[in-house]
Amino acid sequence: EMCVYEYNKEKGFQFKNIFYYFQVDVGKTKGKSNSPILKNYFGFIIEDGKIFVGDTYRGFSVEIFNSEGKEAGKIRLYPERIKIPSSLKKDTFKKLEQSPKYKMFKSMYNYYFPEYYPDFYRFDVEDEKVYFLTYKKLDNRRELIITDYSGKILKRSTVPWLENYRVHMNFAIANNK
């Protein structure tokens, strides 16, 4: 859950309200925890006095809240779902099996891949625009969707990409670049 607290010099931080509940990848099968290798994305950014919450459990969705935690907008897109290639799944499991701790972790977790990639990989907010890095592959590049705060698509572009689920490629936007 995400909460809003108010700071007061005499009383310190005071709880105001809960404004967002999120889901996590958990579950048990035969005493082991289910563990997706490619997890859904959850993250938040504070920009322009707003809180942007991206959560691919809810699809291609970013909810926008004001500083009080009140809903101030929502971005919802409906791109084509992209299947995770079986070759990536096989290669990934092959690499995992070579890990020295694989047997120990396999006894505790049921590793699996979901059928589809999450709707976006990461997002960023800058210059009153929202930038979504997706899993849509175009040669050795990935799609970047740029929207305004209402979700209107302003531009589609591509950025370089390394094909490795363990590398967390972050990106930054400044001055529309």
pLDDT digits (tens, 9 = 90+) for 132-156: 999 998 888 889 999 999 999 999 9
Q: What is the pLDDT of residue 138?
A: 86
Q: How confident is the model at residue 166 (pLDDT cuts 50, 70, 90)?
A: very low
Q: What is the pLDDT of residue 168?
A: 47
Q: What is the pLDDT of residue 120?
A: 94
The helix (run of H) or strand (run of E) holding residue 42 is strand 42-47
Record the pTM.
Answer: 0.78
Q: What is the pLDDT of residue 34?
A: 81
* 105-to-35, 96, 108, 165, 167 alpha-carbon distances in Å: 10, 10, 5, 18, 20
pLDDT digits (tens, 9 = 90+) for 57-115: 889 999 999 888 889 999 999 989 999 999 989 998 898 888 888 888 888 888 889 99
Is the confidence at residue 162, as pLDDT, over 70?
no
Residue type, 20: Y
